[in-house]
Structure 1
Amino acid sequence: MTETKAPDLTSLRHPPTIKVVILGDLGVGKTCLRSQFIHHVFSSAYKTTIGGDFLATTVEVLNDKSSEPTKVQLQIWDTAGQERFNLIFQTFYRGADVAVLVYDITNYESLISLRGWWAQFSEHCCIESPGLVIVGNKTDKSNERCIDLDEVRPILCRNDPEQFEKHMCDWDTDLMEVSCKQLLLVEAVFQRVAALGLAKSSLNEASRSQMRSIDHSVLEAMNAASSSCAC
């Protein structure tokens, strides 16, 4: 009689979901960053995103505890210009494992704004120790650059060093520059996001899923208001 081997239940489980929120000023390339990673598509025509949404994809992350990579589902949220709605704090930020803060290397103010974005996110994500990745976009416009990579840390930490210092795991790894036109650079960002999110997801999945419960009526209301806005 041949012995039947029990299936490996770990292989049948759904991969863990890492919620990622991309934040930054309008026009820095948040939507392009996500679009390049998910769809391998880049558009140079700037258009303000209408409505908020998320896209999901599965990536493999190298795991020190196993010879096999770990599959992780990245749920990537684009705030899509909905920051004027207070409800975004509850709906978009809540339960997020990682924030990707994006600035434009040709726009100094977009870097300064990251202080406010991170403060908002930290207050409303409801995760004790969320991950943080900072991305300088538009390296293809190097002739217009006004921010060097080595200036970012001292600029952000000038007034309140602890705001970023205690949350950045490794400045050399978690601060990077990209052009959304280059897929390999964008993929490197989200590989790091996935690894960081997996390491940071210390809360049990039930609690995190509960925090991420989405009020679809809120999203519909925001999208409807956005589509009727003349601005």
Structure 2
Amino acid sequence: MPGIKADQQSRWCNQTHDKVVTLKFLMMQKTTLPKVFVIGHHKIATRSIHQLFKVDGYKSIHWKGGRIAETMLKNMRMSQPLLKGIESACVYSDMEYLHDDGEFFYGHRLFPILDLQYPGSIFIFNTRNLDSWIKSQLAHKSKKSGLYVRRIRKGLKTIYPGRKIKNRDVIKMWRRTWQQHEDEVNRYFSGKSNLLRVNIESVESKKQLISSLRTFGYELTSDDLPYVGATPKKRKISSRHGKSAD
């Protein structure tokens, strides 16, 4: 700029940039944006959807060690709004918990209550091939707690005492739960316009999801779901086939 020294110009540019970033952040936090609830099961790109919003500055919470689901259950027991204590976020995903003792709870199954308590919200129903999802479930484990399916077996044993629970019993439950949840989602959202469906194994379906989210006011810069939550080898293979993370 004429008449302005280089160091002054640099400071002015930095200050202007900071103001723009701050303004954009504040605009993103406006309560006019609808909340987004990811109501598909975990291991279906829930972290990828979470990251899609997070990289563009939107407040998104994912799993939190089961604390999202625990908060929802506690609030429901106390006749409080489900999100009391965590209502400041825009996006919620992987709303389940599974304790080491086998107790489990699926908060995403409460989507009708969320729709009632937070009118105008958007619901993302993320799906994938059922058999590949079951394989992913069987392989899922954590360093601290071990195999996911083992803890589910433990939980089922408390429900059916005296009965020997095997993996095939868990798989049978997963298949039944999958179909029941899909039927309930289809029935509840029939005639409604706030459900977005995405098949994470379809490139076009993922693009359509992001395009639809933009119409609701979310300024998303990516045209695909980011890939997170897998080993480098699996990430490399999946990227070639246009797949998203579990």
Q: Which protein has the bigger strand share?
A: 1
Q: Which protein has the bigger helix share?
A: 2
- TM-score in same-fold range (> 0.5): no
- TM normalised by structure 1 equals 0.38
